Amino acid sequence: MAQRIGSALQLKFRNGLMRIYSNEDTKCHSGEAEGCVKYQLTGYFPKHDLLLIEVDYWEGGDWLLVRADTGDASKVVSPPHYSPSKLWLVSVASSVGPSGPPNGIDIVPAAPDPSLKEWHYRVPDGDQWLYEFAGWDGDDRVKLFVTSTEAPTKPRPASVERRDGTWHLTEPK
């Protein structure tokens, strides 16, 4: 299903299609930040046949959850955590400064189901909150810890809750 051919990561999906993720090694070694990218297969979720690919740039990176049956991909901010019944996967990332993954939260259904929608939140520029995954409370609530970059204090609770089929962020208390 996955193999490294030189600097390329080749994936063969169960539907017969293939995708090649090619590293830009020349750009990465030239000292030029523009266009530097490297792909690495870093995980597999066998229950749902999902591959986790780390995408590294000169500064920062992304993660892709790729369905091994179709090749459909969802961009997430960090390696995800399963909900208790393995219905959902959540990724949470925050950092101060321009490098690292984008600050945000992603919730993706583990199995392909048109009735279950992905939810993505990116922290707006200038926002003071740093989010950290604190665990699941059932399958419809993600617990978060939130700290402020403006007045560092003890982390406060926050959450993302699923109501009427839609995810909603509850700001820090």
What is the tens place of the pLDDT at every residue in 52-102? 999 998 888 889 999 999 999 999 999 999 999 999 999 999 887 665 667
Q: Where would I find the beta strands (DSSP E) of 46-103? A: 50-57, 61-67, 73-76, 81-82, 88-93
At 127, the pLDDT band (50, 70, 90 cuts) reads confident
pLDDT beyond 70 at 155: yes
- pLDDT at position 97: 66
The pTM assigned to this predicted structure is 0.90
DSSP element (H, E) containing 27: helix 25-29
**Mean per-residue pLDDT of the chain:** 91
pLDDT given at position 59: 80
- Ranges 71-75, 116-120, 150-154: which has the least confidence: 150-154
Q: How far apart are CA 15 and CA 59, in angstroms?
A: 34
Portion of the chain with pLDDT greater than 70, in percent: 95
Split at pLDDT 50, 70, 90, the class of 153 is: confident
18-22 and 37-45: which strand pairing?
unpaired
